[in-house]
A and B are shown apart, each in its own frame.
Chain A
């Protein structure tokens, strides 16, 4: 079956097509931010035309990753949204959690809530923590709210009532009433979008969903219309933040789950790249122009959790955005990329980022008006990136311009230009390795034990340096690194993540309640996954629970033991798993009672595979040489430049070396030995 994937990004929309014979074709077109569907349609048309002979439209599956949802929030271009909550709590979105994200900055701010105070309404009702209905839902208050929403022309509303994560009956009734009064309104319920405890986080998630929903629904409908005209009749599958694909209908209903759609697809691709290189567990490192993403992938599967935040008021400051409690691949985003600007800080020390020159004006070397030195300028001066072969030679850059910008900063810092450039490169590597170490320790893993998969425009340039700092001994740079997310889409399974908060103490275990709950989750999961064309019998259910010691506030996620075990064995195994993970994460265990807080299910179909082509050209892969700086030898050394695509498979070459692809360059230092494997991956072993 042919598959066609598109990934809408900020600058480019990437495509990857797997034709009937299993051959992979890649493509890129400029994105069309005003109407992202245009670029998608253009790219799809071009690919289908070009490969008409090898694709049967019949049964062609289109897959998508998108920034539509993220951008709607970042650029505040969603629709005017209403918020309905338990009366007395209408200010929840403004009150937040009352903490500060910066201790010494007296001028901190938070993004304005996506719903204004005048569009926030209280429904008279109340359910207590134990489920007791303290106040019945007064339906006339909801009808009144519906009237106001209609008057104001509000098309989308978020509903978040207290304790609805466990007792959703009032929310469901509110939805029915709102729909009765205003049939066209989009209603997002917190008990459906994010059934998790802690009202502000749940409300924040539900509001982002409501805010972006009409737009995403429109985008989905538009594409399906266009595709239908081309004779494609299968519904599009969309990448969620947790790395699974869901059918269009669900994507349109729960757009908040797509907020990290592209990066999630990238992580899925990294897992696959690692697998082809014979590695189960890898550290994925994707570095682009403005940000970098690091993601730990143990045993071929990225970790999925609920710790996510969007629209930071201060770039990359944790706590300054809208919290989102959705299942998402746990990765760390660092505010440094090729375009990050280097400057002298008030203490006279070198700082890199968080400001970025972006694509315009871009690094000084691009000569588009940028005058401040960036990471890319440093990389050019160090010889890591060539000036001739930039983006396959189609894009000319100026080393002199980079030098000029760098000299100014070097003079201000009273160091040599070379030292300044190295300092920038090294400081970025330090930030990356710090973030990687934090991310790894968060998950209880020693980062040194993992090979790194590096991609994105700047990933393979910095990978060697970061690996040295972390003590990583193997770096893998795949081909097709420029369109990784699109490749990830081809591989990803159909999958849906469901959860229910239902606290249960181990000492007071209710097996029947557990079974009812899990059966309910698996029923829901089967419905969504089979709607995407996955036969019910091939669905895999993976149950996990968030657990903690009674009295603690932070839960860790444990895989649920086999349900067919006896109660005693089941609980014994559950405890053992908790203690093992706890020891790994925090280096100790405590003899205190345990409880489960949240139950989770991932229902998924099967993963796919993709073979990337590698032209084994028996020719000299060397393209020449240039002066490249290496800290290990404290200076520049004449270094051979190789063409990645022409390197013979399996032949080991000793560093230092530069290995170029069309969209990226890999740096191999003097301690590295590299070869290309049978899948086209450049594998660098660090001695």
Chain B
């Protein structure tokens, strides 16, 4: 059937074809998620599928995805994969992969995989995916390491498959280095299959439309998206807008500082003034940092356009070499999200005077709290499973923040009933913490209290990733801070990071932080305060002391 397909600027053609590209990425997502082995991939959706053009630029991504992966993937392709393996050195059936944090997403468990897509013997596009493997050798996730070499195996960009044939030497090395070789191999195969789906579907699409390549289409998508982003930036006044935030760090406070430079139709974020790199696993590589800068700005500038390279081009950032947001190559970074997840909140804070109605308060989900539980069951078998816990989302200009929400990441949590099968633990409580949301015209979302008891005879090693215990989530536009997080073992405060050992019957309690508020607490409507009181989300005392409420509901609730 003939279609006027060559006119990529036709508003109808472009929309139809663009939708199709997103759909191709979603089909691959479906295959990857449903066949993956590691809970972190399938229950938490810790992976992404992206379609790239022949230059390695992002064309379309799966709809449900994690912000950091999306930007990291095209950056890795352009800066590293294509220079090392230019198209003329690739053959049909080749699959390239690496887990180098500098190239990919900043920590070793994430594998970045790129498969060239051929049409008529020519590379016309690339299928890309990233997934978090269940293990990568070295120290367990969220334990402590002072350099990258302690964190696991690292393989540079290699041909994992050559002309469709697995490179067994590489697989053997990987499988010999990890704790769960079957699962790791299974997940790698899921990624290979997902990339194949993208390749197959893209070729089908090109055939259908009688196209030889994606160049014209890519150009149309990128130019429209770029123009839209630039247009949105032009609505912001030129200037430099700064903010800084103090984080717990591993054991010493870490300052993150950002200055957002708005220059006509582009934005540049400068992280000068940020603390130095540390000898712990929380250093954040450039790709990881940049992905979060881009994510925060895209949310504010154009949340609707399906993400692609065009949306990203007008946004740049930098950080001095040797700081925690641009660490040297040997540094450790397994838990780099503890720092990196806070970047969007920081950028929102910097821009609260420019777009107050769009920014949200700092979120208790920044970063994700995670407990990696490792040990032996009573029958001697080994278990190892990560459970995530999120704090409350920051308040929005029109709504309260959502309770217990993954932000800026997007990880679902494993059901309690699933977790208790995977790990010999009993979750005794998982409940909201009243008054934990920062006060404001709109209130931050609530954090949660979780109590975990070891049921196993042998001790359980919990490698805990947490933040905002000493420095709570801040509010914006004069909103107040939420409550800080807490880590308590057997009733006593415990050092909130690294290894915690629970003997049989011992309990660990975590309280995730509440989100920051938006606007002045004194401006909160009476109806909202009364609703909070009725549902017990705010206590009568806090209603009186913090919100200045003196109505009948407070007395009734008391």
Contacts and interface: CB of A to CB of B under 8 A. Distances in A.
Contacts of B255: none
B536 A118 contact: yes
B189 A118 contact: no
B399 A109 contact: yes
B305 interface: yes
A279 B35 CA distance: 32
Contact of A549 (B10, B37, B404, B405): B37
Could you say which of B16, B396, B410, B536 has the most chain A C-beta atoms within 10 Å of its C-beta?
B16
Contact of A118 (B34, B360, B404, B534): B534
Contacts of B534: 116, 118
B554 to A, nearest CB: 15
A345 B224 CA distance: 12
Could you say which of B31, B35, B417, B537 has the most chain A C-beta atoms within 10 Å of its C-beta?
B417
Interface string A578-606: 00000001111010100000000000000
Contacts of A426: 12, 16
A237 to B, nearest CB: 34
Contacts of A197: 415, 417-418
Interface in B1-50: 1-3, 10-12, 14-16, 18-20, 23, 26-27, 30-31, 33-39, 42-43, 45
B432 A91 contact: yes
Nearest to B429: A88
A102 to B, nearest CB: 8
Contacts of B451: 88
A223 interface: no
B298 interface: yes
A100 interface: yes
A285 interface: no
A98 B406 contact: yes
Contacts of B305: 346-347
Contacts of A163: 417, 420
Contacts of A551: 37-38, 182-183, 186
Nearest to A553: B42
A637 interface: no
A371 to B, nearest CB: 21
Nearest to B11: A349
Contacts of B402: 108-110
B453 to A, nearest CB: 9
A165 B412 contact: no
A590 B307 CA distance: 33
A552 B43 CA distance: 9
Contacts of A631: 1, 3
B23 A434 contact: yes
Interface string B374-415: 000000000000001010000010110011111100111101
B522 interface: no
Given A97-B413, A199-B417, A554-B42, A346 B535 contact: no
A349 B15 contact: yes
A104 B303 contact: yes
A94 B405 CA distance: 10
A197 B10 CA distance: 49
Nearest to B27: A441
A198 B37 contact: no
Nearest to A117: B535
B436 interface: no
B430 A88 contact: yes
B228 A553 contact: no
B23 A95 contact: no
A565 interface: no
B172 interface: no
A182 interface: no
Q: How large is the interface on B (under 10, 10 to 19, 20 to 34, 35 or more residues)?
A: 35 or more
B186 to A, nearest CB: 5
A128 B420 contact: yes
Contact of B410 (A90, A103, A350, A586): A103
A587 B31 contact: yes
A88 B420 contact: no
B420 A129 contact: yes
A91 B388 CA distance: 17
A106 B363 CA distance: 11
A547 to B, nearest CB: 13
Given A95-B404, A95-B448, A98-B390, A586 B420 contact: no
A419 interface: yes
Nearest to B42: A553
Contacts of A503: 421
B426 interface: yes
Contacts of A165: 417
Contacts of B412: 97-99
Nearest to B31: A586
B528 interface: no
B430 A586 contact: no
Contacts of A201: 415
A200 B415 contact: yes
A313 B370 CA distance: 29
A634 B430 CA distance: 62
B193 A98 contact: no
A442 B30 contact: yes
Contacts of A427: 12, 15-16
Contact of A98 (B1, B38, B304, B405): B405
B34 A198 contact: no
B196 interface: yes
Contacts of A651: none
A118 B432 CA distance: 13
A126 B426 contact: yes
B45 A90 contact: no
B298 A104 contact: yes
Contacts of A468: 1
A545 B445 CA distance: 40
Nearest to B17: A430
Given A95-B404, A97-B413, A347-B225, A438 B186 contact: no
A90 B430 CA distance: 8
Contacts of A554: 33-35, 42
A99 B406 contact: yes
A438 B299 contact: no
B27 A549 contact: no
Interface in A235-293: none
A199 B416 contact: yes
A351 interface: yes
Interface in A552-587: 552-554, 585-587
A83 to B, nearest CB: 13
A128 B35 contact: no
A162 interface: yes
A199 B415 contact: yes
A94 B406 CA distance: 14
B444 to A, nearest CB: 14
A118 B535 contact: yes
21 contacts: A88-B427, A89-B431, A94-B403, A98-B406, A99-B411, A104-B295, A104-B307, A109-B399, A118-B536, A162-B417, A165-B417, A346-B305, A347-B305, A350-B12, A430-B19, A437-B27, A442-B30, A549-B37, A551-B183, A590-B186, A592-B37
Given A100-B410, A200-B415, 14 more contacts: A88-B451, A89-B416, A91-B448, A97-B412, A103-B67, A104-B299, A106-B358, A126-B428, A163-B417, A349-B12, A430-B20, A438-B30, A549-B37, A554-B33
The 4 A-B residue pairs whose C-beta atoms are closest, nearest first, are: A88-B429, A423-B12, A99-B412, A104-B303
Interface of B: 1-3, 10-12, 14-16, 18-20, 23, 26-27, 30-31, 33-39, 42-43, 45, 64-65, 67, 182-183, 186, 189, 193, 196-197, 224-225, 228, 295, 298-299, 302-305, 307, 358, 360, 365, 388, 390, 396, 398-399, 402-407, 410-413, 415-418, 420-421, 426-432, 448, 451, 455, 534-537
Interface of A: 87-92, 94-101, 103-110, 116-118, 126, 128-129, 134, 162-163, 165, 197-201, 319, 344-351, 413-415, 419-420, 422-423, 426-427, 430-431, 434, 437-438, 441-442, 468, 503, 549, 551-554, 585-588, 590, 592, 631-632, 634
